[in-house]
């Protein structure tokens, strides 16, 4: 624990250390609220029901990963898909034709939630081999229990190198997976696509990568940022 603390504080100025400590205190205070605890119970109920491993957070320094990619990555923390029915209904998703892609899928919780809907394909992209392996194991567990309607694939690679399908409507899901250094080339690829592309972006810290390239209409669904290209709007 001490080694990890020293590693995180190394090279930081006193002002940065104060900011980091304040951020951590605020984070832990928020995690103690009744709302946060209720959320955690809901997350854990999923794992208890299915026998999966999706809830536990994984800090990047506990994973064997390429440090040059990890430098731009957020840790693994799952989203719960609670708003998916609202998003998909409001967007009028044509499940049979659409491919759902979770950029930075981690242990695959969002994939498992999305695959309860009849997507054409559900794809997770994850750079940490251990997390990708857990996502596949989770997929197998839920599939064996009949909990999936759509097929799930997991590709283990840096999202910068992932080439999405270019011949089907895409629903791309981002839960604050990485910083601008990764989002810039990812946005570049998505901007070049001509088929309908919709982006659902939780904690959209790099949304400017899409805004500055243009061509996206912006809205909110259940409070979450949604971006749609011209083909998605016309569909
Ligand atoms: C906040 S978690 C989101 C997990 C998942 N999307 C969900 O909603 O449950 C961010 C994930 O993005 C992954 N990630 C970060 N940088 C990446 C990159 N360059 N390529 C692929 N995955 C990345 C992390 O390893 C982590 O699992």
Q: What is the CB < 6 Å shell around ligand 1?
A: 69, 73-74, 76-79, 102, 104-106, 109-110, 125-128, 131, 158-159, 175-178, 182
Name the pTM for this structure.
Answer: 0.88
- Ligand 1, atom 13: closest residue by C-alpha: 104
| 100 Cα–ligand 1 center, Å | 15
Same domain, 147 and 224: yes
- Ligand 1, atom 26: closest residue by C-alpha: 76
Please give the pLDDT value at position 48. Answer: 94
Number of domains in the chain: 2
Residue 79 maps to a domain: no
Same domain, 95 and 42: no
- Ligand 1, atom 10: closest residue by C-alpha: 177
> String of b and e for 129-152 (b: at least 16 CB within 10 Å)?
ebbbebbbebbebbeeeeebebeb
Same domain, 90 and 44: no
> Where in the sequence is the domain holding 109, given as residue range(s)?
84-234
Nearest atom in ligand 1 to 65's CA: 25
Same domain, 20 and 120: no
CB–CB of 131/62 below 8 Å? no
Same domain, 210 and 104: yes
Q: What CATH number is attached to the domain comprising 197?
A: 3.40.50.150
Residue 190 maps to a domain: yes
Please give the pLDDT value at position 14. Answer: 77
| 234 Cα–ligand 1 center, Å | 30
- Per-run averaged pLDDT (10 residues), the chain, 235 residues: 56 73 70 74 88 95 95 95 94 97 98 96 98 98 96 98 98 98 98 98 97 97 97 94
What string of DSSP letters covers the chain? Answer: -HHHHHHHHTT--HHHHHHHHHHHHHHHHHHTSHHHHHHHHHHHHHHHHHT---SS-B-GGGS---HHHHTTBPPB-----TTHHHHHHHHT--TTT-EEEEES-TT-HHHHHHTTS--SEEEEEES-HHHHHHHHHHHHHHHHTT--SS-EEEEES-GGG----SSS-EEEEEES-B-HHHHHHHHHHHHT--S-EEEEEES-TTTHHHHTT--EEEEEETTEEEEEEHHHHH-
Q: From 68, 127, 134, 154, give the residue whose CB has the most ligand 1 atoms within 8 Å, as the site to mutate.
A: 127
| 119 Cα–ligand 1 center, Å | 21
CB–CB of 119/100 below 8 Å? yes
Same domain, 32 and 109: no
- Ligand 1, atom 11: closest residue by C-alpha: 104
| 122 Cα–ligand 1 center, Å | 15
């Amino acid at each position: 624990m001490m080694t990890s603390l020293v590693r995180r504080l190394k090279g930081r100025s006193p002002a940065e250390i104060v900011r980091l400590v304040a951020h951590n205190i605020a984070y832990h205070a928020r995690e103690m609220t009744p709302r946060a605890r209720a959320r955690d119970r809901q997350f854990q109920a999923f794992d208890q029901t299915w026998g999966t491993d999706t809830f536990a957070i994984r800090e990047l320094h506990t994973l064997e990963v390429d440090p040059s990619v990890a430098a731009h990555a957020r840790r693994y923390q799952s989203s719960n898909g609670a708003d998916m029915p609202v998003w998909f209904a409001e967007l009028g998703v044509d499940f049979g034709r659409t491919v759902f892609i979770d950029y930075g899928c981690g242990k695959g919780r969002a994939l498992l939630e999305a695959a309860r809907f009849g997507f054409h394909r559900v794809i997770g992209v994850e750079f940490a081999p251990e997390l990708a392996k857990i996502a596949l194991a989770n997929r197998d567990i839920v599939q064996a229990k009949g909990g999936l309607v759509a097929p799930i694939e997991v590709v283990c690679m840096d999202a910068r190198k992932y080439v999405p399908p270019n011949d089907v409507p895409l629903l791309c899901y981002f839960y604050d997976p990485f910083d601008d250094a990764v989002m810039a080339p990812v946005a570049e690829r998505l901007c070049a696509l001509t088929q309908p592309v919709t982006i659902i972006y939780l904690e959209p810290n790099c949304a400017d990568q899409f805004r500055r390239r243009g061509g996206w209409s912006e809205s909110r669904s259940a409070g979450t940022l949604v971006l749609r290209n011209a083909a998605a709007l016309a569909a």
